[in-house]
Amino acid sequence: MGKSKVLIVGGTGYVGRRIVKASLEQGHETYVLQRPEIGLDIEKVQMLLSFKKQGARLVEASVTDHESLVDAVKQVDVVICTMSGVHFRSHNLLMQLKLVEAIKTAGNVKRFLPSEFGMDPARMGHALEPGRVSFDEKMVVRKAIEDANIPFTYISANCFAGYFAANLSQMRTLLPPRDKVLLYGDANVKVVYMDEDDVATYTIKTIDDPRTLNKTVYLRPPENILTQRQLIDKWEKLIGKKLDKFSISEQDFLASMKDLDYASQVGVGHFYHIFYEGCLTNFEIEEGGEEASELYPEVNYTRMDQYLRVNKQSRGEAMGKSKVLVVGGTGYVGRRIVKASLEQGHETYVLQRPEIGLDIEKVQMLLSFKKQGARLVEASVSDHESLVDAVKQVDVVICTMSGVHFRSHNLLMQLKLVEAIKTAGNVKRFLPSEFGMDPAQMGHALEPGRVTFDEKMIVRKAIEDANIPFTYISANCFAGYFAANLSQMKTLLPPRDKVLLYADGNVKVVYMDEDDVATYTIKTIDDPRALNKTVYLRPPENILTQRQLIEKWEKLIGRQLEKSSISEQDFLASMKGMDLADQVGVGHFYHIYYEGCLTNFDIGEGGEEASQLYPEVKYTRMDQYLKVKRRT
Distance from CA of residue 481 to its chain's centroid?
Answer: 16
Q: Give CA–CA dist 179/197, Å, rounded.
A: 29
Helix axes 360-372, 334-343, angle to 10 degrees: 10
User: Edge-to-edge strand order for the sheet containing 215-218?
Assistant: 153-156, 215-218, 289-291
Q: What does the H/E/C string look like for 585-618?
A: HHHHHHHHHHHCCCCCCCCCCCEEEHHHHCCCCC
Which residues, including other chains, have CB under 8 Å from residue 58's CB and lie 6 or more apart?
A: 31, 32, 34, 48, 51, 52, 631, 632
d(CA 516, CA 435): 12
What contacts 584, CB < 8 A, 6 or more positions away?
A: 405, 406, 448, 449, 451, 452
Count Cα neighbours of 181 within 13 Å in the Cβ-side half-sphere: 28
Angle at which helix 580-590 crosses helix 450-465, to 10 degrees, equals 80
Q: Quote the CA–CA distance of 266 and 128 in Å, as a whole number.
A: 8
Please give the backbone phi and psi of residue 214, each rounded to the nearest 5 degrees, phi first: 60, 40
Q: Tell me which residue of 520, 424, 426 sits closest to 471, measured CA to CA.
A: 520
List residues with catalytic annotation.
456
| Degrees, nearest 5: CA angle 366-367-369 | 65
- The Cα 81–Cα 83 span in angstroms is 6
Q: Locate all alpha helices (DSSP H) within 499-619, ordered by sequence.
A: 514-524, 546-557, 568-573, 580-590, 610-613
Q: Is 263 helix (H, G, I), strand (E, B) or coil?
A: helix
Write the DSSP symbol of residue 392. T
Please name the residues in contact with 515: beta carbons below 8 A apart, sequence gap of 6 or more: 336, 339, 340, 620
Give the residue among 321, 337, 319 at the shortest CA–CA distance from 329: 337
3-state secondary structure (DSSP) of residue 533: strand
